[in-house]
């Protein structure tokens, strides 16, 4: 069975490398991609995003265009990092479509004044909101991710507000650990770092940590949407944001791994008047709030919270 899966995967990868690897067929492929709905973009990511990993052939540079909520975003495809840029280009809409659907619903149902992207990695979530002219505050402690984000912003005429720091309960320093070619798995949380122990080519860096409350003035009088995806550090980040949660009540989209932290995370949010619901979310939706028991038992990883 494994051999059959490998053969099928190799077939799909070969099928996409031919047009994606040459400028003119790539443009035709991009035009076809733009006609896909969210379901088609999800399967394009699932089937083809990793097609250029391990492919050492030189691939001509170019660009790839996506469209979010009526606005185009141009993404770079650089020869030296084509495997990564291709993956990122298909990920921006195709990965975690329930989150992208929630973003679109939030924009349609009460446009936020501020999007805060905590654990931005290459900044793809920030790019979606920048394309809408929404002020965006982007937190990413891994400097290896910054060039792609800045280059893409320049390509589109966006003005980024990039903070090269991790967020936590208090100011200080932590060690960031990440696999060299999978920066999105970067973690400052000790348990998440332990889970990476078997990975090869791990990189370790000391990074600055700040509490979100240090940015409280950015939230004043604004309807804010905060996304938190930090591989297990979500609880500490919320502990460092209690004043903001109390005084400004931002909407939250957050990742939560099953485990002992979930109960404490629920207690912190519920104690502050927040209701947690599954994704995708939409304004006026009638999804029932999760109880402590259903939140702890949920197999989902991503959630929405609002007062």
According to the model, what pLDDT value does residue 286 have? 78
According to the model, what pLDDT value does residue 118 have? 98
Arithmetic mean of pLDDT over the chain: 93
Beta carbons of 250 and 225 less than 8 angstroms apart? yes
Beta carbons of 161 and 152 less than 8 angstroms apart? no
According to the model, what pLDDT value does residue 307 have? 95
According to the model, what pLDDT value does residue 191 have? 67
Arithmetic mean of pLDDT, 136-162 = 97
Please compute Rg for the chain using Cα positions. 20
List pLDDT tens digits, range 15-70.
Answer: 999 999 999 999 999 999 999 999 999 999 999 999 999 887 889 999 999 999 99
150 vs 260, more confident: 150
According to the model, what pLDDT value does residue 249 have? 98
273 vs 200, more confident: 273
**The pair of three-digit structure tokens given for residue 176, joined into one six-digit string:** 């960031």
Nearest alpha-carbon partner for 249 in 273, 281, 218, 278: 273
Please give the Cα distance from 264 to 269 (Å, whole number): 9
Arithmetic mean of pLDDT, 83-93 = 97
Please give the Cα distance from 89 to 92 (Å, whole number): 6
Residue 183 — very low, low, confident or very high, per pLDDT cuts 50/70/90?
A: confident
List pLDDT tens digits, range 197-242.
Answer: 777 788 788 989 999 999 999 999 999 999 999 988 999 999 999 9
Please give the Cα distance from 263 to 44 (Å, whole number): 36
Q: Is the pLDDT of residue 192 over 70?
A: no
Which three-class secondary structure state does DSSP give residue 245? Answer: helix
According to the model, what pLDDT value does residue 94 have? 98
180 vs 281, more confident: 281
Arithmetic mean of pLDDT, 113-124 = 98
Beta carbons of 282 and 109 less than 8 angstroms apart? yes
Structural domains present in the chain? 2-94 (no CATH), 97-306 (3.40.50.150)
Please give the Cα distance from 296 to 152 (Å, whole number): 38
212 vs 259, more confident: 212
Eight-state DSSP code of residue 288? P
According to the model, what pLDDT value does residue 281 have? 94
According to the model, what pLDDT value does residue 3 have? 80
Q: Is the pLDDT of residue 98 over 70?
A: yes
SS3 per-residue string spanning 131-152: CCCCEEEEECCCHHHHHHHHHH
């Amino acid at each position: 069975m494994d051999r059959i899966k490998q053969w099928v995967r190799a077939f799909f990868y070969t099928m996409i490398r031919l047009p994606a690897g040459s400028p003119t067929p790539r443009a035709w492929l991009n035009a076809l991609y733009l006609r896909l709905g969210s379901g088609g973009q999800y399967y394009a990511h699932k089937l083809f995003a990793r097609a250029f990993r391990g492919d050492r052939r030189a691939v001509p540079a170019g660009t790839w265009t996506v469209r979010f909520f009526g606005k185009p975003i141009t993404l770079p495809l650089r020869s030296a990092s084509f495997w990564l840029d291709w993956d990122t280009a298909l990920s921006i809409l195709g990965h975690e479509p329930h989150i992208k659907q929630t973003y679109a619903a939030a924009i349609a149902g009460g446009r936020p004044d501020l999007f805060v992207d905590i654990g931005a990695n290459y900044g793809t979530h920030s790019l979606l909101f920048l394309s809408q002219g929404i002020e965006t505050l982007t937190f990413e402690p891994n400097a290896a991710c910054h060039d792609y984000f800045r280059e893409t912003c320049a390509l589109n005429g966006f003005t980024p507000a990039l903070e090269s720091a991790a967020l936590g309960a208090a100011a200080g320093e932590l060690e960031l650990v990440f696999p060299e070619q999978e920066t999105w798995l970067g973690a400052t949380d000790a348990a998440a770092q332990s889970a990476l122990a078997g990975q090869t080519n791990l990189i370790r860096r000391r990074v600055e940590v700040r509490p979100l409350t240090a940015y409280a003035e950015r939230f004043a009088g604004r309807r804010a949407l905060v996304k938190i995806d930090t591989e297990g550090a979500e609880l500490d980040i919320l502990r460092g944001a209690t004043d903001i949660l109390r005084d400004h009540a931002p909407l939250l989209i957050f990742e939560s791994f099953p485990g002992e932290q979930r109960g404490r995370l629920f207690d912190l949010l519920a104690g502050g008047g927040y209701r947690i619901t599954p994704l995708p979310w939409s304004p006026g939706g009638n999804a029932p709030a999760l109880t402590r028991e259903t939140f702890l038992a949920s197999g989902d990883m991503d959630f929405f919270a609002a007062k």
